[in-house]
């Protein structure tokens, strides 16, 4: 089993039909989802990227103001859709009860809030049901999309989100709804079709949450892809240099400057040494977190560099996509 899982996790993500991307809040999972979609499209796949819960993080990555409920092209080979519960519910009722879109005004606001808040998992089954519909959609005998990338809820909510169809299958004995939920469940539990990619920062808290989420996925029988470690800072200093920096600080820099005949004031040396040692400590702390991740989670890792741009847009998305290809996540 573990050998099998390891093999799968090193295979290209484009071998799956659905890639579910999740991570602790603030780790950049949306950026990674967009980068995966971009790399897959570059490899010639027709990709649909799905946003749930209207997080609105996806649109700027494609230079768009917003992503709508109707599928629309975001970039060559990439379509995008934002799935919201009330739209999904309308579609669902239409599908199972023949309630037309004309009834939509009745189904907004309180009605949907009630339905999605009261019935545990109803919201989730609606969202994920829409994903399944897109995954299964065919035109002229072949799939419309080769790959669906789901920018899923954060890891804290992920197990419950992915568990919704199983709960429905257990609750509902027969009929169209059970059939639909069973279909979703089959998709999620098939390691050839679905893989979960967990995104983390090389920091203590996100790493711990990632390890926990991976355990939850395994318990649910859902296959995991590589872990993506995002925003890794470079470590330009050797261990010996780090020691010198922290022990001698500015004095070491001034000595080297004198040797090399470079004019450097004491004040400048102090400022530079402070920044350099902060950076070194940070890079070291990141590597410590990485070590913890490696020791606790037997999944291959994709390591993405820190981009140091406050704005993450189309250029950064493409840069990270290239990195995913270079590290073998997408072939």
- Kindly state whether residue 119 participates in binding another protein, applying the rule CB under 8 A: yes
Q: Which two tokens stand for residue 222?
A: 């859902």
Among 63, 97, 137, 331, binds another protein (CB under 8 A): 97
CB of 260 to another protein, least distance (A): 4
Find the part of the chain contacting another protein (CB under 8 A) among 25-33, 41-49, 67-75, 132-140. Answer: 25-33
Among 256, 298, 315, 331, binds another protein (CB under 8 A): 256
- Kindly state whether residue 42 participates in binding another protein, applying the rule CB under 8 A: no
Find the part of the chain contacting another protein (CB under 8 A) among 13-21, 34-42, 141-149, 199-207. Answer: 199-207
CB of 48 to another protein, least distance (A): 23
Name residue 143's beta-bridge partners.
138
Find the part of the chain contacting another protein (CB under 8 A) among 76-84, 104-112, 136-144, 212-220. Answer: 104-112
- Kindly state whether residue 279 participates in binding another protein, applying the rule CB under 8 A: yes
CB of 254 to another protein, least distance (A): 9
CB of 226 to another protein, least distance (A): 22
Number of residues binding to another protein, judged by CB under 8 A? 72
Among 44, 138, 175, 219, binds another protein (CB under 8 A): 175
Upper half-sphere CA count for residue 294 (Cβ side, 13 Å): 10
Find the part of the chain contacting another protein (CB under 8 A) among 64-72, 121-129, 211-219, 320-328. Answer: 121-129
- Kindly state whether residue 115 participates in binding another protein, applying the rule CB under 8 A: yes
- Kindly state whether residue 100 participates in binding another protein, applying the rule CB under 8 A: no
- Kindly state whether residue 65 participates in binding another protein, applying the rule CB under 8 A: no
Among 5, 220, 251, 257, binds another protein (CB under 8 A): 257
CB of 277 to another protein, least distance (A): 8
Upper half-sphere CA count for residue 142 (Cβ side, 13 Å): 5
Q: Which one, 27 or 187, has the nearer CB to another protein?
A: 27
Site string for another protein, 122-151 (x = CB under 8 A): x--x--------------------------
Find the part of the chain contacting another protein (CB under 8 A) among 54-62, 70-78, 134-142, 185-193. Answer: 54-62
- Kindly state whether residue 203 participates in binding another protein, applying the rule CB under 8 A: yes
Site string for another protein, 298-317 (x = CB under 8 A): ----------xxxxx-----
Query: Hey, what long-range contacts does 119-123 have (CB within 8 A, 24 or more apart)?
Result: 120/167, 121/160, 121/163, 121/164, 121/167, 121/168, 122/164, 123/85
Residues 258-277 that bind another protein (CB under 8 A): 259-262, 264-265, 267-268, 270-276
Cβ–Cβ under 8 Å, residues 301 and 329: no
Which H, E and C letters describe the chain, residue by residue?
CHHHHHHHHHCCHHHCCEEEEEECCCCCHHHHHHHHHHHHHHCCCCEEEEEECCCCCHHHHCCCCCCCCCCEEEECCEEEEEECHHHHHHHHHHHHHCCCHHHHHHHCCHHHHHHHHHCCCHHHHHHHHHHHHHHHCEECCEECCCEEEEECCCCCCHHHHHHHHHHHHHHCCCCHHHHHHHHHHHHHHCCCCEEEEEEECCCHHHHHHHHHHHHHHHHHCCCECCEEEEEECCCCCCHHHHHHHHHHCHHHHHHHHHHHCCCCCHHHHHHHHHHHHHHHHHHHHHHHHHHHHHHHCCCCEEEEECCCCCCCCHHHHHHHHHHHHHCCCCC
Among 193, 237, 322, 327, binds another protein (CB under 8 A): 237
């Amino acid at each position: 089993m573990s050998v099998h899982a390891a093999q799968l996790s090193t295979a290209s993500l484009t071998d799956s039909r659905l890639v579910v991307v999740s991570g602790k809040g603030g780790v950049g999972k949306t950026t990674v989802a967009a980068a995966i979609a971009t790399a897959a499209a570059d490899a010639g796949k027709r990709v649909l990227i799905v946003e749930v819960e209207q997080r609105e993080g996806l649109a700027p990555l494609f230079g768009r103001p917003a992503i709508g409920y109707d599928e629309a092209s975001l970039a060559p080979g990439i379509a995008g859709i934002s799935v919201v519960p009330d739209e999904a519910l309308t579609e669902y009722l239409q599908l199972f009860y023949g309630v037309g879109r004309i009834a939509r005004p009745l189904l907004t606001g309180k009605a949907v809030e009630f339905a999605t808040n009261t019935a545990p998992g109803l919201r989730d089954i609606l969202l994920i049901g829409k994903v399944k519909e897109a995954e299964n959609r065919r035109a002229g005998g072949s799939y419309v999309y080769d790959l669906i990338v789901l920018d899923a809820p954060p890891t804290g909510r992920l197990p419950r989100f992915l568990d919704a169809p199983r709960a429905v299958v257990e609750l509902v004995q027969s009929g169209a709804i059970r059939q639909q939920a069973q279909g979703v469940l089959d998709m999620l539990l098939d390691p050839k079709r679905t893989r979960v990619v967990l995104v983390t920062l090389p920091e203590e808290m996100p790493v711990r949450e990632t390890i926990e989420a991976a355990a939850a996925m395994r318990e649910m029988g859902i296959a995991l892809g590589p872990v993506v470690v995002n925003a890794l800072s470079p470590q330009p200093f050797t261990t010996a240099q780090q020691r010198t920096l922290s022990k001698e600080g500015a004095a070491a820099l001034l000595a080297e400057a004198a040797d090399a005949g470079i004019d450097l004031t004491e004040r400048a040396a102090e400022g530079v040494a402070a920044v350099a040692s902060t950076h070194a400590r940070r890079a070291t702390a990141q590597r410590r977190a990485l070590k913890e991740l490696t020791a606790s989670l037997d999944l291959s890792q994709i390591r993405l560099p820190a981009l140091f741009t406050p704005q993450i847009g189309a250029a950064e998305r493409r840069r990270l996509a290239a990195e995913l290809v270079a590290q073998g996540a997408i072939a």
